[in-house]
Chains A and B, each alone.
Chain A
Amino acid sequence: MSDRAPSELIIEAGRTERHYWADLWRYRELFYFLAWRDILVRYKQTAIGIAWALIQPFLTMIVLTVVFGKLAQLPSEGAPYPILVFSAMLPWQFFANSLSACSNSLITNANLISKIYFPRLIVPASAVVVSFVDFMVAGMILLGLMAWYNYVPSWRILCLPLFVAIAAAASLGAGLWLAALNVRYRDVRYIVPFMVQFGLYVSPVGFSSSVIPERWRLLYSLNPLVGVIDGFRWAILGGTSNLYLPGFILSLGLLAVLLASSIWYFRKVERTFADVI
């Protein structure tokens, strides 16, 4: 930042920031530092530390496998049921963790927001990054499961980064809306845990979305997470899993709208954060 020649800055009433995206780039180090801080702090003074990022999804996976796979006897698309569940757990946990972290991120950093200028977008974005680290750690479980079941993925696994990007976009889109709303309406704080709990059963985490009757598939895809999770399964489970294309495109379109509208809304209200937080 110091390498920049002194330039003139004009702050005017009602003027939208022209250099916003450039500013975002200039404050990238703050972005790294905030994410780094949250990662460092996350498991401080815990006895088993980062292992928590493994235990939680692992136990959830067992419960879902027992309930949906063994008790309800739902079909598994040819793959071992734990892998079916876990390939959906990964994006789902990523989404759910980012949603919770994002929506509270501005509030927990209220002291920063009321004392220092920086593009506020940094705060929820770094919250997503922190959840992404947990996602990577949990990804190791998937590798373990694959080794355990001697499961070799197909070439489709190479598309996984694309779906990870889509999952990140979904998390950021929903997270930004909730973060911005949470600044003014603390109701959000109570809505989010409910959304997360509810979403686990509404999204095809414990079961394959192929169990949904064909005529409801498109309607079901209105839940943007359906597209994300199906994409993950398509990439990880290989040949046995088929992507329901109209639904996937619908989910993708909805995600694009969600992300664009969230950035638009966030930018619109961001300037008043310091006054209302």
Chain B
Amino acid sequence: MSETVIQVENLGKKYTIGHQQPQDTGLRHVLDRGWRSLLRRGLKPGQQTAPPKTEEFWALRDVSFEVNQGDRVGIIGRNGAGKSTLLKLLSRITDPTTGRIRLKGRVASLLEVGTGFHPELTGRENIYLNGAILGMSKAEIQRKFDEIVAFAEVEQFLDTPVKRYSSGMYVRLAFAVAAHLEPEILVVDEVLAVGDAQFQKKCLGKMEDVGKEGRTVIFVSHNMGTIVQLCNKAFYFQKGCLLEQGDVNQIISHYLTTNTEDTRNGKICLNSSLKQDKAAFFSSVSVLDTGDRKSSELDVRSPIKIILEYEITQNLSNLELSIRVDTHDGRPVFTSQQSDFNTASLAERSPGQYQTTIEIPGMFLMPGSYLLTLAAHQPMVEIHDFHEHILSFVVLETGTKYAQYNQPHNVGLVMIDLPWQEAKLSECVSIHP
């Protein structure tokens, strides 16, 4: 079962970034350069010609890993970390500069939804075309045709050119074809964020099925929730290198806590000059531990302080500040609004700098990684400032009652002491005397 299906050794991909203007790659310039270097060499033999002004850029460097059959691997990393390059190498679109890849089994890559769809062709024609492009044989497409159409929910419009489709229908059809691929190894780029919420759910379900059937999936996404849901392993890439690999939950926590350099000390400054024209904006946000030290790693047993500094530039009434705490995979835990605590805060306020402190009690958030979202708005009127997932912090397991269990994240998001009132109803009579 755990046979290695993908083996990557010292993989590297180098791009040459030209500092010349793009039009310099035209034929004339190439001929011109060749001619000049020939002349120069002829005049001064032995002298090297000046190399053209180019820079090497390693999109991926020295990457080695193995993937076993049936693994569902999520690849995470910031933009430019080399994720897409890796997918392109795995799907043979481009060649590696160094190293090698061994693949066992048919690879299908889904780097974009609807690659090769032709707007002039009908839905039916596009199913065949797209299927062939993705590597399905005609017989295979014919066999799955009805299934694809049903999945995409476009029966009525099969003979309409797809250029007349709504964008939702278009992506549904495109995804439906891709979803019915049956490769041994499936390579997927961020393509699941298509369609409406209901269709997304269907797509996710389909992807989960693919994983359950024992196929190997390599999946890139910026949506940590999707990765957690679909994958059992994760690779964390940074600047072209494979930084960490392992269990998906663990890797994602690391990724989120190293997300921005600033979060290390638990404070983020937000006062950019762009915001000066806003009626109200946040200037900084910080997370403090019990000793009032700025920190992004906090003890589960003690309260967490969140300090917001904000500025109001004109007389404002009804200004509502709110924070939301989400889990690392983007599920909201709770929202708290200033007026919940103090209705007087909605009265008119004069311009100035303000500070407010919010305290999250200890023994409330389960150990794990969390993301903080801030908003300053006048309800139903205007959003003045909004920062989603601006800061992340980790609640460390330092001794909750749940630590004894293997999978503490199955317990819930918050801990709460509820009164369990009990009364003994009767003396138990043994059933088996």
What residues of chain A have their CB less than 8 Å away from a CB belonging to chain B?
1-4, 6-15, 29-30, 32-33, 36-37, 40-41, 44-45, 109, 111-118, 181, 184-188, 271-272, 274-275
CA A10 to CA B6, docked complex, whole Å? 10
Tell whether, in the assembled complex, residue B15 and residue A44 are in contact, meaning their CB atoms are under 8 Å apart.
no
CA A122 to CA B28, docked complex, whole Å? 29
Give the contacting residue for B115; candidates A8, A15, A116, A185; CB below 8 A.
A116
Tell whether, in the assembled complex, residue A1 and residue B137 are in contact, meaning their CB atoms are under 8 Å apart.
yes
Q: Which residues of chain A have C-beta atoms less than 8 A from B109's C-beta?
A: 115-117
Tell whether, in the assembled complex, residue B105 and residue A13 are in contact, meaning their CB atoms are under 8 Å apart.
no
Tell whether, in the assembled complex, residue B100 and residue A13 are in contact, meaning their CB atoms are under 8 Å apart.
yes
Give the contacting residue for A11; candidates B100, B105, B106, B135; CB below 8 A.
B100
Tell whether, in the assembled complex, residue B96 and residue A117 are in contact, meaning their CB atoms are under 8 Å apart.
no
Q: Which residues of chain B have C-beta atoms less than 8 A from A114's C-beta?
A: 93
Tell whether, in the assembled complex, residue A11 and residue B96 are in contact, meaning their CB atoms are under 8 Å apart.
yes
B95 at the binding interface (Cβ < 8 Å): yes
Tell whether, in the assembled complex, residue B26 and residue A274 are in contact, meaning their CB atoms are under 8 Å apart.
no
Q: How far is the CB of A4 from chain B (nearest CB, A)?
A: 7
Tell whether, in the assembled complex, residue A33 and residue B93 are in contact, meaning their CB atoms are under 8 Å apart.
no
Give me the 10 closest cross-chain CB pairs, A-B, nearest first.
A117-B92, A6-B105, A33-B132, A12-B100, A187-B27, A185-B27, A11-B101, A274-B94, A9-B103, A115-B115
Q: Which residues of chain A have C-beta atoms less than 8 A from B15's C-beta?
A: 275
Give the contacting residue for B93; candidates A14, A29, A115; CB below 8 A.
A115
Q: Label chain B's interface by main secondary structure.
A: mixed
Give B132's nearest chain A residue, CB to CB: A33
Tell whether, in the assembled complex, residue B101 and residue A187 are in contact, meaning their CB atoms are under 8 Å apart.
no
Tell whether, in the assembled complex, residue B104 and residue A274 are in contact, meaning their CB atoms are under 8 Å apart.
no
CA A7 to CA B104, docked complex, whole Å? 6
Q: Which residues of chain A have C-beta atoms less than 8 A from B129's C-beta?
A: 33, 36-37
Q: How far is the CB of B180 from chain A (nearest CB, A)?
A: 12
Segment at the A interface, from B120-128, B240-248, B250-258, B310-318 = B120-128
Q: How far is the CB of A164 from chain B (nearest CB, A)?
A: 27
Tell whether, in the assembled complex, residue B91 and residue A117 are in contact, meaning their CB atoms are under 8 Å apart.
yes
Q: Which residues of chain B have C-beta atoms less than 8 A from A15's C-beta?
A: 100
Q: A109-B116, A111-B116, A275-B94 are in contact. List 12 more A-B contacts (CB 8 A).
A: A10-B100, A13-B97, A13-B98, A30-B132, A32-B132, A44-B161, A113-B93, A117-B91, A185-B27, A187-B28, A188-B27, A271-B94
Q: How far is the CB of A12 from chain B (nearest CB, A)?
A: 4
Give A185's nearest chain B residue, CB to CB: B27
- 5 CB contacts below 8 A, A to B, read A1-B137, A9-B104, A12-B96, A41-B120, A271-B95
B99 at the binding interface (Cβ < 8 Å): yes
Give the contacting residue for A13; candidates B26, B95, B120; CB below 8 A.
B95
Q: Which residues of chain B have C-beta atoms less than 8 A from A45's C-beta?
A: 120
B112 at the binding interface (Cβ < 8 Å): yes
CA A167 to CA B93, docked complex, whole Å? 32
Q: Contacts A11-B95, A13-B97, A275-B94; is A112 near B133 (CB within 8 Å)?
A: yes
Q: How far is the CB of B136 from chain A (nearest CB, A)?
A: 7
B88 at the binding interface (Cβ < 8 Å): yes
Q: Which residues of chain B have C-beta atoms less than 8 A from A30's C-beta?
A: 132-133
Q: Which residues of chain A have C-beta atoms less than 8 A from B99's C-beta?
A: 12-13
CA A118 to CA B107, docked complex, whole Å? 12
B278 at the binding interface (Cβ < 8 Å): no
CA A79 to CA B26, docked complex, whole Å? 47
Give the contacting residue for A1; candidates B96, B103, B135; CB below 8 A.
B135
Q: Which residues of chain A have C-beta atoms less than 8 A from B91's C-beta?
A: 116-117
Tell whether, in the assembled complex, residue B140 and residue A11 are in contact, meaning their CB atoms are under 8 Å apart.
no
Q: Which of B115, B116, B121, B137 has the most CB of A within 10 A?
A: B116
Give the contacting residue for A4; candidates B28, B97, B106, B133; CB below 8 A.
B106
Q: How far is the CB of B125 from chain A (nearest CB, A)?
A: 7
Interface string of B129-156 (1 = CB under 8 A from A): 1001111111010000000000000000
Give B112's nearest chain A residue, CB to CB: A115
B89 at the binding interface (Cβ < 8 Å): yes
CA A40 to CA B124, docked complex, whole Å? 13
Q: Which residues of chain B have C-beta atoms less than 8 A from A12's C-beta?
A: 96, 99-101
Tell whether, in the assembled complex, residue A185 and residue B26 are in contact, meaning their CB atoms are under 8 Å apart.
yes
Tell whether, in the assembled complex, residue B106 and residue A6 are in contact, meaning their CB atoms are under 8 Å apart.
yes
Q: Which residues of chain A have C-beta atoms less than 8 A from B190's C-beta?
A: none
Give the contacting residue for B102; candidates A4, A9, A41, A112; CB below 8 A.
A9
Tell whether, in the assembled complex, residue B102 and residue A10 are in contact, meaning their CB atoms are under 8 Å apart.
yes
Tell whether, in the assembled complex, residue A40 and residue B133 are in contact, meaning their CB atoms are under 8 Å apart.
no
B30 at the binding interface (Cβ < 8 Å): yes
Tell whether, in the assembled complex, residue B100 and residue A116 are in contact, meaning their CB atoms are under 8 Å apart.
no
Q: Which residues of chain A have C-beta atoms less than 8 A from B26's C-beta?
A: 185-187
Tell whether, in the assembled complex, residue A116 and residue B133 are in contact, meaning their CB atoms are under 8 Å apart.
yes
Q: Which residues of chain A have C-beta atoms less than 8 A from B62's C-beta?
A: none
Give B182's nearest chain A residue, CB to CB: A2
Q: Which residues of chain B have C-beta atoms less than 8 A from A187's C-beta?
A: 26-28
Give A15's nearest chain B residue, CB to CB: B100
Q: How far is the CB of B25 from chain A (nearest CB, A)?
A: 7
